[in-house]
Amino acid sequence: MPSSKQLSLARVNDLVLGAFSSAPTSEGLDHAIRYLSTWSGSDKLFMIIQYALKIIIPFLDLRARLQHRNGTRKDAASTSSVVLFKLYSLIGDSRMLWRFWGLLPIYQWLSSLERMPPPTRELLTIERIQGWSMLLYYPLEHLYYLRANGLLSASVFLPIPFFKSISVKLNTTKLAIWSARAWALYVFLQFAHLRQDFRLLKLRERALAKVKGKSSTETEVEKVELRQRWDALRNEFVSNLGYLPLTIHWCVIFECYVSPQNLESRDANGFVQLCYLRKNAFSAGTPYRTSLLLQPTVKMK
């Protein structure tokens, strides 16, 4: 028979070390863990933080300048914005590093595309070009990242069989611009993809309205699935619409974009993406084909 001392020690053990025995279970927490355990899920979370910082940093700088002008602040610079900008740059740098295996899902996508092509020839052509644009985008971004962080020299030698090695200069600005242009090609083609999807959904909607002889349960299930596809199509359109001005700026006026003083020019675009991501970041998967592409992030110094 256990002594009272042993019982008291066991009781203390249960109260202290077993404190989580009374912790409630949460389906939301389970879903968040599953979501954040994936590459795309964790990237979206950091993307939300990054876009939020795009809005917060200029606001803090503006507030500091106004307070300095009114005489309520000694310094016109915001110390909080400096710290948050460091966090912003660190997240962007980390997200770019995590995309180093981004070619793997692109390879898987292109190979599955040939085995299971989309329903129309137009969609097949669009997705083929999108896939090849990503095959260009990722290596260019990887070279930019390695060169910007001093991991590659300014020029590399490419050995060619039966010929002398060719020296190729790595210009970080050109690498970033051309990788962003490859990304822009994907985004522009996505609008054409969405247009084709819209036509297919309209045809499916008309066909469903003409179908007779099916049970009410089967019809209702198909209508629910169709509504989900329409919702997914609208979400994808809003997301792509938010990416559009970003792609234009990244691939046209890169020099202005990398300046911390020009963060304000991206606030509206970041706000659109932030609203979209807040709505869809932790939502369940939809039957619509979501974008394989993640937004490029240029390291700002």
- Which domain range does residue 76 map to? 37-100+258-284
Least confidently predicted of 40-44, 119-123, 231-235, 246-250: 246-250
Which residue, 258, 255, 260, is CA-closest to 82?
Answer: 260
Average pLDDT, the chain: 79
For residue 216, is it within any domain? no
Distance from the Cα of residue 167 to its chain's centroid: 34
For residue 71, is it within any domain? yes
pLDDT confidence of residue 3: 61
* Integer Cα distance of 80 and 61 in angstroms: 9
Q: Are 80 and 61 in contact (CB under 8 A)?
A: no
* Integer Cα distance of 205 and 207 in angstroms: 5
pLDDT confidence of residue 121: 93
* Integer Cα distance of 278 and 287 in angstroms: 20
Two tokens, residue 41: 């899920």
For residue 209, is it within any domain? no
pLDDT confidence of residue 189: 95
* Integer Cα distance of 217 and 145 in angstroms: 54
Using one digit for the tens of pLDDT, what is the confidence trace for 63-76? 988 888 888 888 88
* Integer Cα distance of 128 and 106 in angstroms: 11
CA distance to 127, 243, 244, per residue, from 187 (Å): 11, 7, 7
Backbone angles phi, psi at 155, to 5 degrees: -140, 145
For residue 266, is it within any domain? yes
For residue 239, is it within any domain? no
Which residue, 187, 176, 192, is CA-closest to 252?
Answer: 176
* Integer Cα distance of 20 and 28 in angstroms: 18
pLDDT above 90 (res 128):
yes
For residue 60, is it within any domain? yes
For residue 167, is it within any domain? no
* Integer Cα distance of 264 and 267 in angstroms: 5
Using one digit for the tens of pLDDT, what is the confidence trace for 25-75? 888 888 888 888 888 888 888 988 988 998 899 999 999 888 888 888 888
* Integer Cα distance of 178 and 141 in angstroms: 9
Question: Which residues fall within 8 angstroms of residue 35, CB to CB, at 6 or more apart?
Answer: 41, 282
Side-chain half-sphere exposure of 179, counting CA atoms within 13 A = 23
How many C-beta atoms lie closer than 10 Å to residue 40's C-beta?
14
* Integer Cα distance of 126 and 25 in angstroms: 45
Indicate the SS3 state at residue 116.
coil
For residue 91, is it within any domain? yes
Q: Which amino acid is at 169?
A: K
> How many distinct structural domains can be found in the chain?
1
pLDDT above 70 (res 120):
yes
Q: How far apart are the first and last CA of the chain?
A: 70
Which residue in the block uniquely carries the two structure tokens 């980390």? 94
pLDDT above 60 (res 202):
yes
